Copies of this chain bind each other. A is one copy, B any other.
Amino acid sequence: MDKNLKKRETMHRLCAKGLEVFHEKGYYNTNLDDILKDLSLSKGAFYHHFKSKEDYFITIVQNLIQQKVYALLVEPLNTHENPLPVILDSIEQALEPGRPNEIAYGFMLNDFITEFSKRNQEIATYLRDILKVWEVNLVSILKRGKVDGYIARHVDCEGAASYIIASYLGMRTLLSESTNRQLKYNYIQQLKLYFNAIEERRVLA
């Protein structure tokens, strides 16, 4: 096989498994040997591709987490419809657990940000930046919604965006290990109520 292909494949296997295990057990609670054993690779192989555990995780953040969050929560906002249902739908999608054994990406950021914000500012910043992109795009679509007459004029778009993000992140802490579908459903319902409060009251024809 092509050496270049081989390299890419190994790195990809490492990253995919790494995301899975880090997400499941946390970064600092995962040792490389566990991951390596799963993949039948050695320390030598690992340190041939990454210069440290930290470097490894940063690669995962930038290649996998960032992409996924973007695809789930930012990409869908790229529309000119009424923003509120669009936002609601994207969040609902993001909270949807994937096929069995697939990673629930919706619940990664809060865990990792909390874990790193007291340990490793560099990585925390990478993660926060991902949130920031989401936030900026939320603000932007909310502002457009205001112009288009979907959202009440008095609403503070920046405040609304961080409020939405906060409630989304906080859900993770409430949902213990049990994937409580009821809780998710309730959350979406309450978010709808909040959206009612900030939407422009249409004059009935």
Query: In the complex, what distance in Å separates the CA atom of A114 from the CA atom of B131?
Result: 18
> When A115-B115, A159-B190 are in contact, do A110 and B29 touch as well, CB less than 8 Å?
no
Which of A58-66, A73-81, A82-90, A194-202 participates in binding chain B?
A194-202
Query: In the complex, what distance in Å separates the CA atom of A173 from the CA atom of B113?
Result: 7
Cβ proximity bits A30-71 to B, threshold 8 Å, 1 near / 0 not: 000000000000000000000000000000000000000000
Q: What residues of chain B lie closer than 8 Å to A25, measured between beta carbons?
A: 118
Closest chain B residue to A128, Cβ basis: B176
Query: In the complex, what distance in Å separates the CA atom of A169 from the CA atom of B165?
Result: 11
Q: What residues of chain B lie closer than 8 Å to A28, measured between beta carbons?
A: 28-29
Q: What residues of chain B lie closer than 8 Å to A160, measured between beta carbons?
A: 190
Q: What residues of chain B lie closer than 8 Å to A110, measured between beta carbons?
A: 114, 170, 173
Query: In the complex, what distance in Å separates the CA atom of A55 from the CA atom of B173?
Result: 23
Query: Contacting A191 at CB < 8 Å: which of B131, B163, B187?
Result: B163
Closest chain B residue to A124, Cβ basis: B176
The 6 closest A-B pairs by CB, nearest first: A170-B170, A159-B186, A166-B170, A163-B190, A197-B197, A169-B170
Question: Using a CB–CB distance below 8 Å, which chain A residues touch chain B?
Answer: 24-26, 28-29, 109-111, 113-115, 117-119, 124, 128, 131, 155-156, 158-160, 162-163, 165-174, 176-177, 183, 186-187, 189-191, 193-194, 196-198
